[in-house]
Each structure stands twice: as structure tokens, then as C-alpha cells.
Amino acid sequence: MRALVKTHPGPGLELIDIPEPVCGPGQVKLRVLRAGLCGTDLHLESWDDWAASTVKAPLTIGHEFYGEVVEIGADVTGVSIGDRASGEGHIVCGNCRNCRAGRRHICINTVGLGVNTNGAFADYVVIPATNLWRQPDFIDPELGAIFDPLGNATHTALQWPVVGEDVLVTGAGPIGVMAAAIVRHAGAKHVVVSDLSDYRLGLAKGAGADLCVNVGTTRIADAQRDLGMREGFDIGLEMSGAPSAVTEMLANLNHGAKVAMLGLPKDPYPIDWGRVITHMITIKGIYGREMFETWYLMSSMLASSTAFADAIRSVITHRFAAEEWTQAFATARSGECGKVILDWS
């Protein structure tokens, strides 16, 4: 089968022919139809310090996908050949304290699909049956392929009640744009998105943001005045990993505001803890998706509103055949895009 593989330590990937993965007990094998390109994949291709310390080559990368079940391992129930599905990319142990308490998203032994074990940039992928998320017919392959990042956005955006609240989203990458669509759908009063890219701010505006702020030229405080806000934002969703974005967010929050932080910084950075304490701001780190409450939430939102589904689909801006992976990676790295999809069908 075709697979996009990190064949050896160092920069680069290779699209090569390798044996199909074997489906064992408790597992399912899927024919991959579409796969989403993630920032993690860019790190793996460039082989930065994080990739070098995390990945053991050879490895098939990729963790965002949609496919068709073609084989079912022993002891698997509730799955049929031909089912269309997405997959949870975090494989958990089931035995640690958090797993046994039902908090599988914070398993201390999590294995990442396409990072710690062979992934989905291939014709076929094998995952635990417990990681399978069967999709209804109205979920098309492209939409199904971005359930992983949509889950990140959902987990972050719905961490706090947003009905009637003023929400600031810092970072207009695909997950930030989807988060803006989610809080708009969930009943936020004002939705403001900040970034340095006018292209991506345009995507956020199309997805439902009331106001988009290029922080290279405009301050968040100006956005507050433009919207007639007097007391600051009630909810902050930090999606950029940029220290300056966090500083700007904290400076524009209301007393008692709540912040969900998904964006991963490159390096440690200082935070104005005096403001956090005296303004009684709650900050919570977010990673991955709650298994599987987040999946239920995003499926329900997509089923309940065609407009919301269209807003999420609008984040997909570029599509490439699997053989065009170099162009796909270059496009994703340029920043002048939303979500990039690889077609493996």
C-alpha cells in the first residue's frame, strides 16, 4: 500500500509502498479516504527538536482521517464491514487512574496515532475498535476527516458556558476559526477573533465572528470600543501559542473571566500573575478531546444546524491527491490557507 513515511531521523518524508497493517484482536482496519494535514505533521516533516525527541523512525505519520471499515478483529462488537468512520487519535491504556475513572483524555500513558505508532497517511490504517467513531451518511469524507481538530475546538470552546457572553479567540488557525463558529452556534453575545493573517481572519469572519482584529495594526481594546463593550471579555479561548496574544488577552478580560488554553508555545514565557490573581481569572489547559463526550457534542451540533456544518466546512480551503503531498505541506506551511485535505481514495 501507499504510505507517507518518516523513513529515517531527519527532515523530509517519503511516499513509498509498504505492507498493509495487520488487524489484531480488538482492532479495526479502515481504508483511508481522506486525511487532514495538521501542524503536528509539519513538525514531523521538518524534524524540529520536538519531533527528534518524540518520534522513532520508520513511522507512517498522520492522525486526522475518515475511512471505511474493511476488516474487524476478534472480540470486536458493534462494528460492521462498510461502516464509514473517523478515529480518535489518542490511544489510551485503560488501566491508569484517570482511564479507570472515565477521564481517558488525560491518560498518563497516551499513545499518539501517527506520532508514537503508525498513522493514517496511508491507504489503510489499523486502530483500536474503541477509538472508532462511526459517522452518519450526512457527514461527507472531508468533514469526517477533520473531526480531530473540530474536537479540539469543541473541547476548548465549550469548556465554559458561553450563552450571552463576550468571547475573545486569539489565533485564527483552523481550530481557532472552528472555535469561533462553535461559540457563535452556542449563543455567545460577541465573538472577536485576533490574528496577524488577514487571510485567516477572513475565514473567521465567514465562520461567524462579529469582529476580526489584525493585532499587527489594531489593539483588542479598540475592538471592545467598536462593539460598545465596557467591562472586558468574559471568555478567552487561546489558540495561538503566542506569548503576546496571551498578554493581550489577559489585559482585555473582565474580572472573573475564564480562559481555555489550547495553543502550544515554543518556549516558556512569563504571565502577569498579579492580574490573574487580582482579577480572579480562571485559566485551564486543554489538550485533545474528551472521550467521547466531545465527539457526541460535535456530532450533535453538526446534525442540528446546516448553517453550522457549512461554517465548519468553510475552514477546508485546499485539497490535494496523496501523490501531491509536497504541495499540500508547502500550502499548509505558507499560512495562506485553512484546513488542507489529502485525498487517499
Q: Which residues are catalytic?
A: 40, 43
Classified as helix, coil or strand, 131 is helix
- Spatial distance between the Cα atoms of 105 and 86, rounded to a whole number of angstroms: 17
State in Å, rounded, how far the first CA of the chain is from the last one. 12
For 293, phi and psi rounded to 5 degrees? -60, -40
Omega prior to 243 cis, within 30 of 0: no
DSSP bridge pairs for 233: 253
For residue 2, count other CB atoms closer than 10 A to its CB. 16
The β-bridge partners of 318 are 340
Kindly list the strands in the beta sheet with 190-195, ordered across the sheet, starting from the edge strand earlier in the chain: 211-214, 190-195, 166-170, 233-238, 253-261, 282-285
Supply the DSSP symbol for 265: P
Alpha carbons 223 and 220: distance in angstroms, whole number: 5
Kindly state the cell numbers that stand for 329: 505541506
The answer to whether 16 and 3 have CB atoms below 8 angstroms apart is: yes
Question: How many angstroms separate the CA atoms of 264 and 283, rounded?
Answer: 14
C-alpha cell at 166: 463576550
Pairing of strands 84-87, 90-91: unpaired
Do 41 and 342 touch, CB atoms closer than 8 A?
no
